[in-house]
Structure 1
Amino acid sequence: MTATPALSDPRPLVERAVAQVAALIEAVPAERLGDPTPCADFDVRALLEHLVAGAHDAAQLGETGTVKRSAPPADVADDGWGRAYGAALARLTAAWADDEKLERPVTVEWGTFPGAVYLASGVVLESVTHAWDLSQALGHQLPLDQELAGLVLGPAQRFLPAERRGDEVPFGPVRPAPEGADAYTRLAAWLGREVA
């Protein structure tokens, strides 16, 4: 993302994006943990593992500037995913509380960026995308924040152009979105999800 006044401090967007994910996680009944999601690599349980590990990774980046990928949590009870994600978010919030960290470079597998760029293009995009995945898996139980999807669609198209698919990029080919589709549907299609 480019630096704009609205995104110079992306932490309010991070807060909105992860709060949406947290609400969806709280809505997951234990009997749905084995259900598929639109992300072919994950059933619901695996997606929750990915979200918790990702929040810990983002916290580690705020703490140290680098990350060694967290292993998916192995000891979370079926009814404990909300607590596990909440604990990861508390660590994430604390790790990025210092304003100076927004300027500090962090290194991830797709490059080295100021912390603010990582939060906006990494954490927000990941959270918004997987909120859609989880919402789809649960049958759209909660409304999604359309503004968030609109804010990350352009950066997703810049950072993940159609020709950069396969190999190390974990997204399938761009799919068509129906005419008049909302921002989430267009984002999901851009990231290779089947939205028809």
Structure 2
Amino acid sequence: MDNNSISSLLGAAAARAVPVVRAVREEQLGDPTPCAGYDVRELADHLFDVVVNFTRLARKQPSRFEEEPHYVGTGDWRGLFVEEVDRLVAAWGEPGAEEGTTGGMHQPARTVGTMVLLDMTVHVWDLARATGQDFTPDPAGVEVLSGVIGDLAPAARDAGMFDEPKQVATDASRFEELLAATGRDPGWQPSD
């Protein structure tokens, strides 16, 4: 399989995401995150909803994003997250997943695939940072995302999904630059 395919990139991102989600403790669910307006529970629910819907989009099916998703806190939600992420990676590896257009805005499928890769990278950093975990993103994923963030960010800002970009130091890493482009402060820490 092509190491630059969306499925391969998502597989690498998933290998880093699953341990972070599994380590979120119940008592942390109300804690703030670097993603403005979301606490840990809301962000984990949002990430879950993204995974489920981008699996549909890979299969050229309509998405059905929940206004207020409720995956977290019911049953073995961490185990279910792993199952849904596995479905996501498999769906983007199916023949034709990266071809044509998909989604309500009829965007190129590969562009849509990079959107879910962005969420699987940046939101996992959000969760890790909010819950005191270490997180190192997949370098290949960061490289791909760094190449497309300039195209994705303006529409995401217009839709209220990104804040204005943050300034970073001249020696910032590619990942810190990516975080800043989404309106995040790469140095964000939970308040004591």
The question of a shared fold, defined as TM-score above 0.5 by the shorter chain, is answered with: yes
d(CA) in 2 for partners of 1:56 and 1:127? 12
Q: Which residue of 124, 127, 134 corresponds with 2:120?
A: 127
Q: Which residue of 92, 101, 107 corresponds with 2:97?
A: 101
Moved more, 20-29 or 96-105: 96-105
Q: Which runs of 5+ in 2 are unaligned?
A: 188-192
Match of 2:159 in 1: 168
Q: Which residue of 107, 118, 142 corresponds with 2:112?
A: 118
Deviation at residue 100 of structure 1 after TM alignment: 2.1
1:18 pairs with 2:14: yes
Match of 1:81 in 2: 77
- TM-score, L = length of structure 1: 0.81
Match of 1:42 in 2: 38
Q: Which amino acid aligns with 1:85?
A: F
Q: Which amino acid aligns with 1:18?
A: A
- TM-aligned CA distance change 1:128 to 1:57, over 3 Å: same
Contact 1:25 1:81 in 2 (8 A): no
- TM-aligned CA distance change 1:176 to 1:40, over 3 Å: same
1:180 pairs with 2:175: no
d(CA) in 2 for partners of 1:189 and 1:98? 33
Describe the SS at the equivalent of 2:96. helix
> Percent identity at matched positions?
26
d(CA) in 1 for partners of 2:180 and 2:71? 33
Moved more, 183-192 or 86-95: 86-95
Q: Which amino acid aligns with 2:7?
A: R
Output one character per residue of 1:90-112: Cα deviation in whole Å (capped at 9) or x when no partner.
33234334212321321244x42
Q: How big is the alpha-carbon RMSD for the aligned residues of Structure 1 and Structure 2?
A: 2.4
- TM-score, L = length of structure 2: 0.83
Output one character per residue of 1:132-186: Cα deviation in whole Å (capped at 9) or x when no partner.
211211224343334422331221123224xx56442411111101231222211
Q: Which amino acid aligns with 1:171?
A: F
Describe the SS at the equivalent of 2:167. coil
- TM-aligned CA distance change 1:100 to 1:125, over 3 Å: same
Output one character per residue of 1:48-106: Cα deviation in whole Å (capped at 9) or x when no partner.
10111111101111234332224554254378332121122233234334212321321
d(CA) in 2 for partners of 1:189 and 1:50? 20
